[in-house]
Structure 1
Amino acid sequence: MIKLPDGPKTPPWLQLLQWIADPLGYMETSFQRYGDFFTARWGNLYPKAVFISNPQAIQEIFTADPKLFDSGRGNGLGKVVVGEHSILLLDGSSHQRRRRLLTPPFHGERMQAYGDLICTLAKQVSSQWTIGKPFSVRKSMQEISLRVILQAVFGLNEGPRYEELRQLLAEMMDMTVSPLRASMLFFKFLQKDLGAWSPWGSFRRRQQQIDRLLYAEIQDRRRQNDLERSDILSLMISARDEQDQQMTDEELHDELITLLLAGHETTASSLCWALYWIHYQPQVRDKLLQELNSLGADPDPTDIVRLPYLTAVCQETLRIYPPLFLTWPRILKAPLKLGDYHFDTDTVLLPCIYLTHQREDLYPEPKQFKPERFLKRQYSPFEFFVFGGSNRRCVGAALAMFEMKLVVATIVSNYQLALTDSQPVKPQRRGFFLAPAAGFKMMITGRRVRQEQPSQPVGSSI
């Protein structure tokens, strides 16, 4: 007998509005009332979508045969942004083929080669800050993550195309800065081009300008056929599958947009939160500085990313406010039993990152920022899964963590920063993601001179 969990009883259109306007409130209220499983009904978007924050059930989903789910079809909402050829919208053998092509550039020595570049870009952007003058943390972290994307992924570092892309991409990302603006991503009736001054018209024109630049770059790169280049676009162009087939221009374009969306927005938000928590709790900053100083005056990036307390700080940042609320939706292709529930074909399963990361039994005092919890306990990939799981896990996860650690370490090591407001920063929706509320500012109070200190175990510094 098919049995769906209980869930909010408000009309579907109102539930969807609540989800867009206040996603954390919607999830937390539903969890408190209905528990580890609850059914959301969002009208035509998802008639029956089940939020799941039970680690055992999540393990069953992540370890099940991927053929049981249509995950690409579940991501149809993002088609207007990433295009129909994105790995996010693929299923079955097409998804497996694309994943095999995309995975190598994000691992091993290729990724390590970006370490010095990331540190340099973080220094370039932060060098523009003025002592005693507040600066927008969001804009600075966006600038760093965008430069990393353009140089490490796109292989661009100067020239008119670089500058134009940099401006257009930043403008497009800012068009969904609030829940109200993000609404046009969820409601098709708002996706009407009523001219350059209409929200969707403006969004589409920027998309078209970006498309023109990306296709021009892809075509130039194919003509050059420079096998010495190490940026991710060049590696993607040269990659071939088992049938000796390369990705088409359209496939490359859509993957670049996907990497931009997943790698730029999420990393910028995570960096904002990391700097906020580190300076909101001075004891965290002091412990982190002690660990960073133990490496000496000019540490190697590979040594920085191995630091345990820095790693714990980044993990706790991603736990408390993960950039993505949920894993990518999984639509059942056959009935499935999870716990006491029997789910029918076409039910949408939503393993919930945010609610799982807020479980008291896994993370005591979950609203408190406590990096030490990651030093005391090893969490399973069904208890901490900020990058998703199974065959839908983010292909750029390793690069994202690598970048986050290096940017945080570079800024904290070189600058004394302070929050300009003692009031806690609140999270809010930004497009499909969770980000600090707009207007979050910090200020430089001085510059640091790194001094070499005797190395000591992390346990003695916390």
Structure 2
Amino acid sequence: MAIVSKQVSVESDPGPIGAPPGLPTLPGLDALFGAAYGAGYLIGGERLAHRLIEHYGPVMRVPIVGLGTLAVVSDPELVKQVFTAKPDVLLGGEGVGPAAAIYGHESMFVLEEPEHLRRRKLLTPPLHGQALESYGPIIADETRRAMARFPIDRPFRMLRAARGFTLDIIVRVIFGVSDRAEIARLGHPFEELLDLGLTDVAVVRYMLRDIGTMRWWPRLARINRDVVSVVAPLIAQRRRDPELSARQDMLSLLMCARTDTGEAMTDSEIIADLITLMLAGHETSATTLSWMFDELLHRPDALARVRAEAETGATEYTMAVINETMRLRPPVPFTARVTTGHYQLGDYLLEPGTRIVLYIDAVNKNPRTYLEPHRFQPERFLGTRPSTYGWIPFGGGIKRCLGASFSQRELIIATHTLLREGDFTPVHSHEDRPVRRSAVVIPRGGVEIRYRPRHCPPSQ
């Protein structure tokens, strides 16, 4: 397939280039077909999407009500073209517009250039370098606290447990608090917001936003007021703190951040990006950690290798397990860009306003990139970095997830702490199955496991 990385103007002659193949519609009935196909995905999920991709190929056209025409991409070469396109040709913020339903329209995540880049630079220091190193003890501490509450020798769901302690981790990392009551108070409205975002109500409301479903959403409005009510006073308190510049929590670092021209973030910008960091840094980590345990507990040899690294402090194989888990089970199965004009994608010409959906789940399992793409094989990532355009659980280009380094560090420390201090066994002989919840794919059964503290006396 020829890859042409350029915008095609409206006046240009596309020659023999045509629209990509895809699901049919009838003139005048686009909305009806778009509603049917949208409902089909909500019901059929990833299994249906993969079957359609196998039939239609690496670029598939799908009309979806509220989203317009989608060009669903599963070819890594086309992913490269999209990720390297100019930001005024393919809009990244508009591409992930549905996330604005929960993250809010001021979130860095949904902004376009140059505002996105300005805010991204301000958010970078809290997620890298010395600040990132300082979060390690918090991750280990909260993981151990959670283990003290695990039921012993009785089944429980890893996903639920992981959501609990990853929420406590991100609250402590962002707000710099350690009092248990304060952690719970600050985390509660964000947990409610995440729970709302994991329902199909959020998806349907966004798809039907033209009839006012987003403007009138009392539950979301109430939760957002609760978020502001707990965060705004804390910001005001920090502004009066003479030691603010010495603090390492994300909130303080954001408040001290300045652009090259000395511009600081406003309170509303800080709150919007805290919502993004809280939600993105919580659910995806908990989901990936649960999938990792599902894979490892059904593979004793791999489990033994990770446990050995937990004892020695090595990370190479553990990182390979993380990479392979995120290849097979990316928490979010897609990302997108929107065309500003006629745009040539590979062999096809896309209309202005087309939403190019990079189907992460299919890209990560492309057989041209990976032998036995559906097999869990961490060894494929030993001694090599994941493919930039064939492994995209964090997205890519200028919109690549800013919290990728934090997520990977959190997964390593949490996994090593769990395996160093506990023995785990699976409840079921088979691995869990994926199920879509809103825009996230999670283990259907929550990964049921049993736990026993290591070296625990038999009488306990």
User: TM-score scaled by structure 1?
Assistant: 0.87
> Aligned ranges for residues 14-25 of structure 1 at < 5 Å?
14-25=36-47
Structure 2 equivalent of residue 322 of structure 1: 330
DSSP 3-state at the match of 1:362: coil
- Contact residue 156 and residue 162 of structure 1 kept, 8 A: yes
Q: Deviations over 1:27-51 (max 9, x none)?
A: 20111101111112102x2221111
Which of residues 216, 221, 238 is equivalent to 2:233? 216
C-alpha contact (below 8 Å) 2:288/2:326 kept by paired residues:
yes
Q: 1:264 aligns with which of 251, 260, 282?
A: 282
SS at match of 2:285: helix
Does residue 165 (structure 1) correspond to residue 183 (structure 2)? The answer is no
Asked if structure 1 preserves the Cα contact closer than 8 Å seen for 2:291 and 2:447, the reply is no
Q: Check if 1:312 corresponds to 2:320.
A: yes
Distance 2:144 2:89 in 1: 47
Tell whether 2:245 aligns with 1:227: yes
Residue identity in the other structure for 2:362: L
Q: What displacement does 1:56 show? A: 1.3
Match of 1:337, SS state, is strand
Distance in structure 2 (CA, Å) of the matches to 1:439 and 1:230:
34
Aligned mates of 1:92, 1:100 — CA distance in 2: 12
State the Cα RMSD in Å.
2.3
The aligned counterpart of 1:280 is 298
Does 2:222 align with 1:205? Answer: yes
More displaced stretch, 308-317 vs 183-192 = 183-192
Q: What pairs with 1:174-185 in structure 2 (closer than 5 Å)?
A: 174-177=195-198, 179=200, 183-184=204-205
Gaps of 5+ in 1: 195-199, 296-302, 450-462
Deviations 1:4-55 (A, max 9, x none): 2111237211211122233312320111101111112102x22211111111
In 2, the alpha carbon distance for the partners of 1:93 and 1:318 equals 30
Higher mean alpha-carbon deviation, 432-441 vs 91-100, is at 432-441
8 Å CA contact 1:415, 1:446 repeated in 2: yes
User: What SS does structure 2 have at the residue aligned with 1:123?
Assistant: helix
3-state SS of paired residue (1:364): coil
CA deviation string 1:210-249 (max 9, x = no partner):
2211122222222225211100111011111122111111
Tell me how many residue pairs correspond in the alignment. Answer: 432
User: By how many angstroms is 1:423 displaced?
Assistant: 3.5
Q: CA deviation at 1:376?
A: 6.3
Q: Kindly state the Cα deviation for residue 399 of structure 1 after the two structures are TM-superposed.
A: 0.5
Aligned CA distance change for structure 1 residues 366 and 4 (closer, same or farther; 3 Å): same
Distance 1:184 1:141, change over 3 A: farther
* Structure 2 residue 30 is matched with structure 1 residue 8: no
Quote the Cα distance in structure 2 between the aligned partners of 1:343 and 1:240.
40
- The aligned counterpart of 2:427 is 420
Match of 1:298 in 2: none
Shift of 1:424: 2.7
SS at match of 1:173: helix
Q: Distance in 1 between matches of 2:421 and 2:24?
A: 52
* Alignment partners' CA distance in 2, 1:121 and 1:213: 22
Contact 1:178 1:429 in 2 (8 A): no
Whether the 8 Å CA contact 2:102–2:193 is kept in 1: the answer is no
Partner SS state of residue 23, structure 1:
helix
Query: What residue in structure 2 maps to residue 65 of structure 1?
Result: 86
Once the two structures are superposed, residues 136-191 of structure 1 have per-residue CA deviations (whole angstroms, 9 ceiling, x without a partner) of: 21221011211111011222222654322323333332335455776445444694
Equivalence for 1:108: 129
Helix, strand or coil: the match of 1:50? Answer: strand
1:392 pairs with 399, 402, 420, which one?
A: 399
**Matched-pair contact (CA < 8 Å) for 1:20–1:182:** no
The letter for the 2-side match of 1:174 is D
Given the alignment, which residue of 401, 406, 413 partners 2:408? 401
- Inter-partner Cα distance in structure 2 for 1:376 and 1:166: 39
